[in-house]
Chains A and B, each alone.
Chain A
Amino acid sequence: MSPSNSGAGPYSRPGIEFLRGARDQLPILLGVVPFGVIFGALAVSAGIPVFEAQSFSLFIFAGSAQFIAVSLIAGAASPFLIILTILVVNLRHMLYSAALAPHVYHLSNLWKIPLSWLLTDEAYVVASARYRKGSPEFAHWYFLGTGLTLWAAWQLSTFLGIALGALIPPGIGLDFALPLTFMALILPTLTDRPAWAAACAAGTFSLLLANLPFKLGLLIPAVLGVGVGLAVEIRSARAGHANGDPA
């Protein structure tokens, strides 16, 4: 970047950055809105009152964790264990926080607080692509635009789902929609061998440990699965080096 670029060019003003961030989030909303609708419908059909169901989206704002919380609430797990599970499921956001930290380091707390609040998978993907393009002067406005767009869509789609869920009579087999939703969530994560190994190991351990108390049959297999994924990654990296593969 040359100094003559600052203050000019395509990313020169806060308002434009904000709108571009919002615009670039739109294609991703196609994939997010169905989950919001299904979350709202499942939450009310699991017996969660309307206001609390919407509050999950308002306050936690994390798709997978919200679905898993509903599944554990339906299984009458303890609140402590549910919060612990939300923590583990959302730990991956640490990686996003670490990746974007150098870009927001110079901002005031007034910026850092809302931006970290909006740091979901989808906002990370779009915002990090923006930061790779350079011209960072007003890029935090882009981050804000993309994050707020996602947040608003998540609230509206949850609300729509709650309204639809209230129309569905109970006991119609919607509980099966939850594992199907998990299926739709897991498929895009199975991108390589270590990810498959992590999933297969966690699935196997979840069968072996299904009778553990406090729903620990979820967390312990998940941690073991992550360990297996790491082991496979390290092994295939070594095999790659042995073959002279630079990757």
Chain B
Amino acid sequence: MSRSELWIIILGGMAVTYLIRLSFFFFIPPDRLPEWFRRGLRYIPPAVLAALIVPDLLLLDGTLHLSFANHRLVAGSIAALVGWRTGNTWLTIISGLLAFGLLALL
């Protein structure tokens, strides 16, 4: 990706992020937000992140790869378990990377 494309992303990303954060401080009275929209906002992070994680772990060259031979899936599952038990960012990532490295050696 070219540097100018990167700057389009940085400045465009800044503009949309800032407009969202400013929105109710300046433009919209808070009671104008529909109830369903307000409730739906809470589900954006889990939905977006799941849509990123699942294909990364399960797809190999566009096809489903559901087996122990899929190292990303196995290492990712170990990281999920560690993260769920410990709630620690570093341990989650390091356990997944370690598992991935060990599986590559086996």
Contacts and interface: CB of A to CB of B under 8 A. Distances in A.
Interface in B17-76: 17-18, 20-26, 28, 30, 33, 36, 38-59, 62, 64, 72, 75-76
Contact of A83 (B9, B76, B92): B9
B16 A34 contact: no
Of B42, B44, B49, B93, chain A has the most CB atoms within 10 Å of the CB of B49
Interface in A27-67: 31, 34-35, 38, 47-49, 52, 55-56, 59-62, 64-65
Interface residues of A, number: 93
A48 B17 CA distance: 21
**Among B40, B43, B57, B93, which residue has the most Cβ atoms of chain A within 10 A?**
B43
B62 A92 contact: no
B44 A222 contact: yes
Interface of A: 31, 34-35, 38, 47-49, 52, 55-56, 59-62, 64-65, 68-69, 71, 73, 76, 79, 82-83, 85-102, 104-105, 112-113, 115-117, 119, 173, 176-190, 194-196, 198-207, 210-211, 217-218, 221-227, 229-230, 233
A198 B42 CA distance: 10
A207 B43 CA distance: 19
Contact of A60 (B10, B26, B84): B10
Given A176-B72, A186-B50, A199-B49, A226 B13 contact: no
A166 to B, nearest CB: 17
Contact of A65 (B8, B17, B47, B51): B17
A56 B89 contact: no
B93 A177 contact: yes
Contacts of B11: 59
Q: How large is the interface on B (under 10, 10 to 19, 20 to 34, 35 or more residues)?
A: 35 or more
A113 B101 CA distance: 46
Given A68-B48, A87-B20, A59 B25 contact: no
B25 A199 contact: no
Contacts of B55: 206-207, 210, 217
A192 B26 CA distance: 33
Contacts of A96: 21
B76 A183 contact: yes
B24 to A, nearest CB: 4
B43 A226 contact: yes
A205 B51 contact: yes
Given A97-B24, A202-B47, 5 more contacts: A112-B25, A183-B96, A198-B47, A218-B52, A229-B40
Nearest to B29: A101
Given A83-B9, A180-B93, A211 B44 contact: no
A28 to B, nearest CB: 12
Closest 6 CB pairs of A and B: A225-B47, A229-B43, A203-B54, A83-B12, A199-B50, A202-B47
Contact of B41 (A95, A105, A184, A188): A95
A218 B51 contact: yes
A64 to B, nearest CB: 7
A43 to B, nearest CB: 10
